[in-house]
Amino acid sequence: MKQLISFLSVFVFAILVTTNVQAQETQTITFNATVEPYIEINPDYLNMEFSTSINPGDAGSAVMDHGFDQASTYNDAVYANCPMQISVEGDNPAGDGEPILARQEVDGNGYDRLQTKIQLRHLLNGGNPVTGGKYFFTSDPDGAATGNWKWGKTHDFLTPHDGEVDLMVYFRARLPHASPDFGTDNTWNQSADAGDYTADLVVTYSVL
């Protein structure tokens, strides 16, 4: 099996300011994955032989025989000196409303998707995450446009802290199924084409 998926997460910050008070800020996390091109021949057909036998005097008589994951920690990613609520929302170029890695088919036939797993953890005061302060998304199998948030998408952080908040990001991308997958009739949207796949996750920090 010859396959390679490379990925990178990039952070872009956008600030929403209410008068002189920063009551809410949003943080956009963009995930990228590249499915590298490859070609592999089904082992059953790697070597093929064809033969023909003709019986003399019997015109038209013939017999033919012929024998197929990444983790990053960002220190002091957020500063807050008050209780806050953190919520997450995801989307992708296909408009699924979830952070599922996707790319459009070259012929406009639709979108290919990758298996996507994302986990965020916020660490306050350099310690363990506050209970319930984890966000874990897993996309459904076989290139589906849906997924599941294991611990929900909104949590309140009421514990006093020293200002700086560390952020841990876990990210994994996989092909929808084993590839090559000889002998299985996969549809076009279950077979991820080579190319670049993207998804976004927007994290909103709000003052409580």
Contact in structure between 92 and 99 (CB atoms under 8 Å):
yes
Most confident of 25-29, 76-80, 141-145: 25-29
Q: Which residues are registered as beta bridge partners of 195?
A: 35
**How far is CA 43 from each of CA 37, 73, 82, 157, 192, rounded to the nearest angstrom?**
19, 43, 62, 56, 21
Query: Can you tell me the distance from the alpha carbon of 47 to that of 67, in angstroms, rounded to the nearest whole number?
Result: 9
- Quick check: 34 pLDDT over 80? yes
- Taking only the tens place, the pLDDT of each residue in 35-80 is 999 888 888 888 878 777 666 665 544 443 333 266 788 888 888 8
- Taking only the tens place, the pLDDT of each residue in 91-113 is 999 999 999 999 998 877 889 99
Quick one: fold of 5-37+69-180+194-207? Jelly Rolls (2.60.120)
- Taking only the tens place, the pLDDT of each residue in 176-205 is 877 777 777 777 767 788 999 999 999 999
- Quick check: 171 pLDDT over 50? yes
For the chain, domain boundaries: 5-37+69-180+194-207
Selection from 71, 66, 119, 101 nearest residue 173 by Cα: 101
pLDDT at 101: 96
Selection from 81, 84, 74 nearest residue 163 by Cα: 81
- Taking only the tens place, the pLDDT of each residue in 127-140 is 655 555 789 999 99
Q: Which residues are registered as beta bridge partners of 169?
A: 72, 120
pLDDT at 16: 41
Query: Can you tell me the distance from the alpha carbon of 161 to that of 144, in angstroms, rounded to the nearest whole number?
Result: 40
